[in-house]
C-alpha cells in the first residue's frame, strides 16, 4: 500500500512534458511572476481606488451614490468582456502581445475617468479602463501555467494572487487619502502613470511563455507550410465568446458559480461588504472622512495577502499527498479539498457576523469587530479561490487562459447584476438582512464546491471539453 513517503510513479511522457517547464531559470520565472502580478494589481487598484471616492464623485458630478456605483457594475462588464477577448487572442498570438495592447487602453481610460465632466463620460471611460486591465488575471494565470509544473503551480499561483491582491490592501487607502487630501481625479491620473510604468516593464522584460507549437498562429502557419523566413503577421478574427463553450463541463460551471458566490462577499471583483461601505460602516459609525473609509479596506487586503500563498502551498501539498495515496494516480479535484474549510466557515460566517455586528454593536467595539471580520473574509476567500483557479489551469491546461477568462467573465457578469442590488437592498431591508442573505448564497457556493470534489470524475466524464492528463497538465 502506498504511503506518503512512497515516491510518485512518473512516466516518460510526463518527464518529457515537465521538461517544457525548464525553459526559464528560477530567477527568470520570478521576474515573470512579478511582472504579471503587477499587471493583475491594476484591475483591483482601478476599482479599489474608485469605491471610497463614490460620495465625492457623486457630489462633483451632481449625481447620487447609487448612480455612480453603477460605474462599478459597468466596469465589471468591461472586465468580463475584455478578459474573454484577451484570453482568446492570447491562445492564438501569445501572452506577451495581449499585455502590450491592453495596458495602453488602461492608460487611456484612466485619463478619461480623471477628466470626466459628466456621468456618461465617466461610465464610458470606466469601461475602457476596466477593459484594458482585464487581461491581468486571465492571461497572467495562463502565464503561471506555462512556466510552472503541476506540483509547483499552486504555490506559484498563490504568490501571483497574493501579489495581485495587494491592490486590495493599498488601493482603497490610496483612493481614500487621495480623495480626501487631493482629488479623486488625481488618483485616476496617478493610475495612468502606474499603468505606463507596468507597460514599460512588460515591453522590455516579459518573454513569450506559451509552450512551443501550441499557439493558433503556429498551427496556422504549419497548415499553410509557410517557411520561417517568410512568416509575417496575419490578423485573424476570433470569437471571444468561444471560450464560454468550455463551461459546458459541469465541474467547470460549478466552480465558476461557486467562485461568484464567494466573491460576492469579497472585493475580488465586487463586494457586498465594501462597495457600500460609506453607506454602511460610514453611516453606522459616523465615518465621513474618505481616508478613514479607505483604511477600513486594509484588514481584508491583509487577509488576502496571507491567505493566497497559504492556499497555494496547501493545495500543492494536498495534490502530492493524494497522488501518493493512490500510487501515482492523479485526480484533479484533490486540489480543491484545501478550499472546503474556507468555503464552509470563514467566507459565509464573516459576512453574516458583519451584518449582526453592524446592526447590534455600536461604537469603536462594533467597528473593530467588523474590521476583524473583514480580515477573516479576505483570508477565507483566498483559501477558496486559490485552489479553484489552480484547478482550472490544471484540468484544462492547453486552454488555461481561455478557461480562466470564461470563468472570470461569467462570474463577473453575474456579480455585475448582483452588485447593482446591494445598495437598494440595504436601503430597503437593512444591513443585517442583506448580509445574511449573502452569507446563505455563499453556503450555496460551498455545496457546489463539495459536489465537485466528490463527483468531479463523473462530471468530467459527462462532457469532455479536452481535459488534461498527467502527461499534458
What does the pLDDT read at residue 79? Answer: 81
For the chain, the residue count is 473
Give the residue numbers spanning the domain of 321: 24-214+242-462
Angle (nearest 5°) at CA 315 between 155 and 391: 90
- Quick one: CA torsion of 159, 208, 403, 345, rounded to 10 degrees? 0
What does the pLDDT read at residue 272? Answer: 42
In a domain, 349, yes or no: yes
The tally of domains found in the chain comes to: 1
What does the pLDDT read at residue 223? Answer: 59
- Helix residue ranges, H only, 206-297: 216-223, 250-263, 281-284, 290-295
Sequence-ordered list of residues with C-beta below 8 angstroms from that of 293, at least 6 positions apart, any chain:
52, 172, 176, 277, 278, 281, 282, 287
What does the pLDDT read at residue 4? Answer: 45
- Which cell numbers hold the place of 42? 491594476
In a domain, 370, yes or no: yes
- Which cell numbers hold the place of 182? 487631493
In a domain, 127, yes or no: yes
- Which cell numbers hold the place of 114? 480623471
Query: What is the rounded CA–CA span in Å between residue 14 and residue 21?
Result: 12
In a domain, 350, yes or no: yes
Q: pLDDT of the chain along its 473 residues, tens only?
A: 344 444 555 566 666 667 788 899 999 999 999 999 988 888 877 877 787 788 888 889 988 877 887 777 777 778 888 888 999 999 899 999 999 999 999 999 999 999 999 999 999 999 999 899 888 888 999 999 999 998 889 988 888 877 776 776 677 777 777 777 788 899 899 999 999 999 999 999 999 999 888 887 877 766 565 544 455 667 888 999 999 999 999 999 999 999 989 988 864 333 444 455 655 666 677 776 666 766 777 788 788 888 888 888 999 999 999 999 988 889 999 999 999 999 999 999 999 998 899 888 888 898 889 889 989 998 998 899 889 989 999 999 889 989 998 998 888 778 767 776 777 777 788 888 888 998 999 999 999 999 999 999 999 999 999 998 887 88
What pTM was estimated for this model as a whole?
Answer: 0.84
In a domain, 15, yes or no: no
Query: What is the rounded CA–CA span in Å between residue 83 and residue 85?
Result: 5
DSSP state, 236? -
In a domain, 3, yes or no: no
- Quick one: CA torsion of 26, 29, 34, 37, rounded to 10 degrees? -130
What does the pLDDT read at residue 139? Answer: 93
CATH (domain of 75): 1.20.1250.20
In a domain, 179, yes or no: yes
In a domain, 233, yes or no: no
Query: What is the rounded CA–CA span in Å between residue 438 and residue 432?
Result: 10
Amino acid at each position: 500500500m502506498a504511503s506518503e513517503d512512497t515516491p510518485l510513479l512518473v512516466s516518460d511522457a510526463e518527464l518529457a512534458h515537465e521538461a517544457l517547464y525548464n525553459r526559464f531559470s528560477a530567477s527568470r520565472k520570478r521576474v515573470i511572476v512579478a511582472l504579471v502580478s503587477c499587471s493583475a494589481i491594476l484591475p483591483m487598484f482601478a476599482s479599489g481606488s474608485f469605491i471610497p471616492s463614490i460620495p465625492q464623485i457623486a457630489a462633483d458630478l451632481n449625481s447620487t451614490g447609487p448612480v455612480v456605483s453603477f460605474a462599478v457594475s459597468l466596469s465589471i462588464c468591461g472586465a468580463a468582456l475584455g478578459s474573454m477577448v484577451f484570453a482568446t487572442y492570447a491562445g492564438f498570438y501569445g501572452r506577451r502581445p495581449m499585455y502590450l495592447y491592453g495596458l495602453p487602453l488602461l492608460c487611456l481610460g484612466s485619463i478619461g475617468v480623471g477628466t470626466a465632466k459628466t456621468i456618461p463620460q465617466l461610465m464610458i471611460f470606466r469601461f475602457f479602463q476596466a477593459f484594458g486591465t482585464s487581461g491581468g488575471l486571465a492571461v497572467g494565470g495562463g502565464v503561471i501555467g506555462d512556466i510552472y509544473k503541476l506540483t509547483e503551480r499552486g504555490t506559484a499561483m498563490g504568490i501571483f494572487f497574493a501579489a495581485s491582491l495587494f491592490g486590495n490592501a493599498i488601493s482603497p487607502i490610496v483612493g481614500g487619502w487621495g480623495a480626501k487630501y487631493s482629488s479623486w481625479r488625481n488618483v485616476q491620473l496617478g493610475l495612468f502613470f502606474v499603468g505606463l510604468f507596468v507597460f514599460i516593464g512588460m515591453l522590455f522584460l516579459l518573454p513569450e511563455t506559451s509552450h512551443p507549437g501550441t499557439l493558433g498562429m503556429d498551427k496556422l502557419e504549419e497548415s499553410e507550410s509557410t517557411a520561417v523566413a517568410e512568416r509575417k503577421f496575419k490578423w485573424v478574427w476570433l470569437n471571444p465568446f468561444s471560450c464560454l463553450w468550455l463551461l459546458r463541463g459541469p465541474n467547470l460551471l460549478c466552480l465558476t458559480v461557486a467562485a461568484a458566490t464567494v466573491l460576492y462577499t469579497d472585493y475580488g471583483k465586487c463586494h457586498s461588504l465594501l462597495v457600500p461601505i460609506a453607506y454602511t460602516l460610514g453611516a453606522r459609525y459616523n465615518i465621513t472622512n474618505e481616508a478613514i473609509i479607505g483604511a477600513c479596506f486594509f484588514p481584508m487586503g491583509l487577509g488576502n495577502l496571507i491567505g493566497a500563498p497559504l492556499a497555494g502551498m496547501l493545495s500543492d501539498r494536498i495534490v502530492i499527498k493524494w497522488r501518493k495515496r493512490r500510487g501515482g494516480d492523479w485526480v484533479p479535484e484533490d486540489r480543491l479539498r484545501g478550499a472546503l474549510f474556507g468555503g464552509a466557515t470563514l467566507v459565509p460566517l464573516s459576512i453574516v457576523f458583519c451584518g449582526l455586528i453592524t446592526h447590534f454593536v455600536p461604537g469603536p467595539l462594533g467597528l473593530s469587530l467588523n474590521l476583524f471580520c473583514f480580515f477573516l473574509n479576505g483570508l477565507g476567500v483566498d483559501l477558496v479561490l486559490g485552489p479553484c483557479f489552480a484547478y482550472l489551469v490544471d484540468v484544462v491546461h492547453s486552454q488555461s487562459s481561455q478557461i480562466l477568462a470564461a470563468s472570470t467573465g461569467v462570474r463577473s457578469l453575474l456579480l455585475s447584476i448582483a452588485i447593482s442590488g446591494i445598495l437598494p437592498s440595504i436601503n430597503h431591508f437593512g444591513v443585517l438582512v442583506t448580509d445574511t442573505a449573502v452569507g446563505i448564497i455563499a453556503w450555496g457556493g460551498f455545496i457546489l464546491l463539495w459536489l465537485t470534489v466528490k463527483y468531479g470524475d463523473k462530471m468530467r466524464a459527462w462532457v469532455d471539453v479536452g481535459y488534461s492528463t498527467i502527461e499534458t497538465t
